Amino acid sequence: MAGTSARRPVVVAMSGGVDSSVAAAILLEQGYEVIGVTMCLLRDMQEDSSGGCCSLETIEDAKRVASKLRIRHMVVPMQDIFRETVIEDFVSEYKRGRTPNPCVRCNEFVKFDALLNWALTVGADKIATGHYARVAQNEETGRWLLLRGASKSKDQSYALYRLTQEQLARTLFPVGEKSKPEIRQMAAELGLLVADKPDSQEICFVPDKDYRGFLAKVAPELVQPGPIIDVSGKTLGEHKGIAFFTIGQRKRLGIATGKPTYVVRIDHRTNTVVVGTDADLFASKLVAENINMISIESLPATLAVTSKIRYNASNSAAVVRSLGDDSAEVVFDEPQRAITPGQAVVWYHDDVVVGGGVIVPQEEPCSLD
């Protein structure tokens, strides 16, 4: 399979899945010289597909696809940067009572930073991934834009909101204009063995989908018992570690209240888990830090947007107010359920990603009875 004219080389991050495989095929058809690269992220790679993009099967599947497409394939070691920026942050955030998003971190520091820099050193002009998102350029301002994927049901722009202007200028998303069924059909027509391969849904470096067991193993200091209290401060029981809880959680609380009970707040300062009713989960505002703006250079005093507080959340109208110091307050038109510190809040104008930041905890003291 070959295009009609040679272009500068493009490094395609091949995860062994159908999306990145078809991304490579699309670029090849468009005339690019394609170099398939699979990042080796763990020192002890897992044997089967339960490891997602960190498994040995990932490498073998990517190699088979590259062979079928007749493109070069390389395995690039990224264990150190992945450990330092993703795994260590994952543990650190849970220590702080937050729920991190490792995919956002991996995109920011590994795929679109470390891998892009590596690609430039081998003579490539751009990198490409199988994300369902799009890149465009504003002709008036010259700024590079990140857009939602054309298929709204598969849009992955939320996890890419950390990308910079320099990174977007050198990034291609070949599958961003298509739907998942279209990509699977293309893979089947190309004879790719990954055409029906299931999507990876879990944290790639956590064996057996057991993040609690992973945390207990790599950071046993997280297993520190503490009180479970209700919103009035009444002690209801004891937990085994705040890292094992997240906002909105209902199962595995280890207490009996006779009614539906949810985690509504986690205070790492007092090692306390606060629980309440479903109504207690709703809030009309949040504060975000570590802001990254894409469609505009900086955040104005106020900005009307639609906003998402997690990957699978619906869009909600909101106003963003700059707080200075790289932080902002987001006030929603309608209260939002289970706003979770550590997750990203991402702002949109229609299909364009305006920017976003990391949700920080509510600064409310926990009083113990």
Catalytic residues: 106, 204
Cβ–Cβ under 8 Å, residues 186 and 212: no
Burial (CB < 10 A; 0-12, 13-18, 19+), residue 183, is: buried
Instruction: Tell me how crowded residue 293 is: count the other CB atoms within 10 A of its CB.
Output: 20
Say what the alpha-carbon torsion angle 349, 155, 53, 188 is, to the nearest 10 degrees: -150
- In this structure, the chain runs to a length of 369
Q: Which residue has the tokens 């009609």?
A: 4
The pair phi, psi for residue 46, each rounded to 5°, is: -80, 155
SS (H, E, C) 145-158: EEEECCCHHHCCHH
Residue 280 has what DSSP assignment? G
Q: Which residues pair with residue 72 across a beta bridge?
A: 35
The pair phi, psi for residue 76, each rounded to 5°, is: -115, 125
SS3 317: strand
Cβ–Cβ under 8 Å, residues 369 and 308: no
Distance in angstroms (rounded) separating the CA atoms of residues 229 and 314:
31
The sign of the torsion formed by the CA atoms of 291, 296, 297, 300 equals negative
Question: Would you state the structure tokens that stand for residue 38, as one six-digit string?
Answer: 């699979």
Cβ–Cβ under 8 Å, residues 164 and 126: no
Helix (H) or strand (E) holding 348: strand 344-349
Helix (H) or strand (E) holding 285: strand 282-293
Q: Are strands 316-324 and 327-337 parallel, antiparallel or unpaired?
A: antiparallel
